[in-house]
Amino acid sequence: MKKDRIQNDINLDFDVKVSVKEIKNYLDIYFSDHILDSNDEYKRTNDLLELDNRYIMSNGELAINVKWYFPKFHNSLYKKNDNEFIDLIHQTAIDAFWYKANIIAHHYGYACCIRDGRSDGWAKPMLKGKELNEVWPLKYYLNNTELEYLIKIKIFVMFAADIKNLFKMIDKEIQNVTNITELNELQNKIYDL
């Protein structure tokens, strides 16, 4: 075993293949403290990986909280008491969000992004399994310091940032919708992102 031997490619379980150099350059992860162990796996030799608790569900699976507690709609809709159109805007925005969340999940190499929790308020990316149509949630393990796992966590954090930005954009944009044409334009804008 030589400490100076470095593996050039890392094959992640979800159709993403990156080089160690790409990880260093593009993901802002620096692995100068990694060495090869007897199983040729990269190990982290110093601090543990800690992830913000807001991404960790009670069962240890990683997800993003996307509960929409108080959506705000255009004031004119409240003045007209147009609850039917408000409901249409709300449902259209939710459907467009979940459609785009799946597109974002695919972009990061996940099989899909599912709704989870009692009120479907968690966006949970799912890893592809070994078998056809098999998917698994990404779990959080504080003591797992293997390089491949650390990369998966970094990818999850980037995925989470995109999901949060999508959620914030939709929350802001629905406040400008006053008619069906504007709603269709917003839906198309979300789909085209």
Residue 79 confidence (pLDDT) = 92
User: Is residue 42 one of the residues assigned to a domain?
Assistant: yes
Residue 122 confidence (pLDDT) = 94
Phi, psi angle pair for 150, to nearest 5°: -60, -35
Residue 91 confidence (pLDDT) = 95
Q: Which residue has the tokens 């930005």?
A: 165
User: Is residue 91 one of the residues assigned to a domain?
Assistant: yes
**Residue 139 lies in domain:** 9-192
Residue 58 confidence (pLDDT) = 82
Q: Which residue has the tokens 């075993």?
A: 1
Residues of the chain with pLDDT under 70: 1-50
Q: What is the pLDDT of residues 165-176, one digit of tens each?
A: 999 999 999 999
User: Is residue 1 one of the residues assigned to a domain?
Assistant: no
Residue 38 confidence (pLDDT) = 30
Residue 2 confidence (pLDDT) = 37
User: Is residue 143 one of the residues assigned to a domain?
Assistant: yes
Number of domains in the chain: 1
User: Is residue 48 one of the residues assigned to a domain?
Assistant: yes
User: Is residue 53 one of the residues assigned to a domain?
Assistant: yes
User: Is residue 19 one of the residues assigned to a domain?
Assistant: yes
Q: Cα(113)–Cα(101) distance, rounded to whole angstroms? A: 6
pTM: 0.72
User: Is residue 66 one of the residues assigned to a domain?
Assistant: yes
Say which residues have a Cβ less than 8 Å from residue 14's Cβ, sequence separation at least 6.
Answer: 109, 110, 111, 127, 128
Residue 102 confidence (pLDDT) = 96
